[in-house]
Amino acid sequence: SATDFNPDPNETIRIALPKLKNGTQEERVRTFGFVYQQLMFAYNKGNFPTDANKRALSVELIRLYEIVDEGMKRSVLQALTRYGENAISKPFIFKVLDGSDVQRREAVLSVLGVPGGVSGPDIYEKVKDLANRGLIKPEARTTMLARVDKDRALTEVLDVIKSTTDMEHFIYSAWALQDYYKEPANYKFIVPRLRELELVSDGKVMKKFFRGGNPLGWMDADLFSRYIETAPFAQSLQAF
């Protein structure tokens, strides 16, 4: 049958649970792939299952985690982070985040904060704790904080943009401010620092590169154009 790109997430879980509970290992793995894909489609449409269904799914995903190989474990961890229920999934995820397995931790961090996933103030505090312990790269700190709670993160994001002398820290924080807040006026915090950090041309050649390319390649052209069009004249001229 044709792929359903807008499935009912509760129906998806209802169909999958019996095989996740009682199927052979091969059936459980195959069913996991079905659930992961269908819930991804549903979540992309903003359709989330009930907490009860999230809870039932979380229990089976943790059981599955115990019997699959390492590569599959990382996929299951991402599913628990994306689709799990807080009371069941979060303690399990926190244990992984505090553990010594870097690849498993990175698997969780790569999807932590996605809409509909595990959430709460303790998620924000856990990210701060991991960053303070050096378990999250310094340049990724503000991006991770903005992803899990952009309202709480805003002050720190702006502080880094205004004060850091580290090019990568600045770029990642400016990038986060742009992409997570989507407010053209926020470029007023970014633009004044570009020449200071040598991220703009001196009229002849770019002095620095980011990821081997243009140090301003991350900027959203449409959003930046809206800033130029709406900012006060002096700020608009500086940006232009």
- What percent helix, strand, coil does the chain show, rounded to 5? 70, 0, 30
**pLDDT value of position 202:** 65
The pLDDT value given to residue 1: 46
Would you say 114 and 93 are in contact if contact means Cβ atoms under 8 Å apart? no
At residue 207, the pLDDT reads: 67
CA distance 208 to 215: 7
Q: What are phi and psi of 213, to 5 degrees?
A: -135, -160
User: Please, is 25 exposed, middle or buried when counting C-beta atoms within 10 Å of its C-beta (0-12, 13-18, 19+)?
Assistant: exposed
pLDDT per position as a tens digit, 32-76: 999 999 999 999 999 999 999 999 999 999 999 999 999 999 999
Sign of CA dihedral 226, 231, 234, 239: negative
Mean pLDDT by 10 residues, the chain (240 residues): 79 97 95 96 96 98 96 97 97 96 97 95 97 95 96 97 95 96 96 90 69 87 95 89
5: three-class secondary structure by DSSP: coil
What tokens appear for 205 in the block? Answer: 């050649």
For residues 12 and 42, the answer to whether their CB atoms sit within 8 Å is yes
pLDDT value, residue 200: 82
pLDDT at residue 6, as a whole number: 87
